[in-house]
């Protein structure tokens, strides 16, 4: 499919009653598509998708359209959202330790590059702490400095390790044996395959 077909197909997956905080609806997307304003239509679809859980196909089509438009940041975000649907997503308030307290001296990338280990309360067969890996996306920031604080989105590498994690739980981030940061869980979303049937 070409960009127009991908964006049209994705827009058909958005409920007509869904609106952003700025009252943007799928009708606005269609207006931009009618005038070949693909990049604006893509941005509006991303914004509509951020307000509600939409199907995996929606994000796959947006990722493909963004790739064809050579919008690397949008493509990366849409692929990330696909991962959230497949593997689940945990939102958390993360505070990194300062450069004086931890080994990290440089900022971490905010766009899903880092896949740190997390102590989420699992135990190893010998009774010690067992860590689990999750990709990290910093909301609304391109990077996070040591000592900084931000809301982050975590995508578990092994979703079954994270089934017990719940809102309000404190978890710790590790890049080596030492604690690199601590986070308080704000939301937990199970993978699409683990969601109960309705």
Q: CA angle, corner 76, sides to 72 and 78, nearest 5? A: 120
- Say how many domains are in the chain: 2
Query: Shortest CA distance to 102 belongs to which of 183, 169, 166, 174?
Result: 174
pLDDT for res 125:
87
In a shared domain, residues 21 and 77: yes
Q: Which stretch of 14-23, 29-38, 95-104, 153-162 has the lowest confidence by average pLDDT?
A: 14-23
pLDDT for res 194:
52
In a shared domain, residues 60 and 133: no
Dig out the tokens for 62 from the structure.
């947006």
For range 95-101, the mean pLDDT: 92
Dig out the tokens for 68 from the structure.
């064809």
In a shared domain, residues 92 and 185: yes
pLDDT of 184 over the 50 cut = yes
What residue numbers bound the domain in which 30 lies? 3-86
In a shared domain, residues 96 and 173: yes
Which of 86, 106, 134 is at the close of a domain? Answer: 86
pLDDT of 195 over the 50 cut = no
3-class SS of residue 155: strand
For range 80-87, the mean pLDDT: 95
pTM to 2 decimal places: 0.88
pLDDT for res 68:
97
Per residue in 106-130, is it b (16+ CB within 10 Å) or e — as a string?
Answer: eebebbbebebbbbbeeeeeeeeee
In a shared domain, residues 48 and 67: yes
Query: Shortest CA distance to 96 belongs to which of 146, 138, 171?
Result: 146
In a shared domain, residues 74 and 115: no
In a shared domain, residues 160 and 69: no
Query: Shortest CA distance to 159 belongs to which of 133, 127, 122?
Result: 133
pLDDT for res 51:
66
pLDDT for res 146:
95
In a shared domain, residues 56 and 130: no
Alpha helices of the chain — where are they, by DSSP H?
3-11, 26-34, 38-50, 56-68, 72-87
pLDDT of 168 over the 80 cut = yes
Q: Percentage of the chain surpassing pLDDT 70? A: 96
pLDDT of 138 over the 90 cut = yes
CATH number for the domain spanning 178: value is 2.40.30.10
For range 63-88, the mean pLDDT: 96
Spatial CB neighbours of 31, under 8 Å, sequence gap ≥ 6: none
């Amino acid at each position: 499919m070409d960009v127009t077909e991908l964006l049209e197909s994705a827009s058909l997956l958005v409920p007509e009653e869904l609106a952003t905080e700025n009252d943007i609806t799928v009708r606005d997307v269609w207006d931009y598509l009618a005038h070949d304003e693909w990049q604006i239509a893509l941005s509006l679809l991303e914004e509509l998708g951020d307000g509600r859980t939409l199907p995996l196909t929606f994000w796959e089509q947006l990722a493909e359209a963004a790739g064809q438009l050579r919008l690397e940041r949008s493509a990366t975000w849409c692929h990330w959202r696909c991962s959230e649907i497949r593997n689940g997503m945990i939102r958390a308030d993360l505070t990194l330790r300062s450069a004086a307290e931890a080994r990290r001296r440089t900022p971490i990338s905010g766009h899903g590059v880092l896949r740190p280990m997390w102590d989420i309360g699992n135990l190893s067969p010998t009774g010690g702490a067992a860590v689990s890996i999750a990709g990290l996306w910093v909301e609304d920031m391109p990077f996070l400095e040591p000592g900084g604080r931000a809301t982050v989105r975590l995508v578990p590498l092994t979703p079954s390790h994270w089934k017990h994690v719940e809102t309000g739980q404190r978890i710790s981030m590790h890049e080596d044996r030492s604690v690199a940061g601590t986070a308080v869980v704000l939301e937990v979303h199970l993978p699409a395959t683990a969601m109960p049937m309705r």
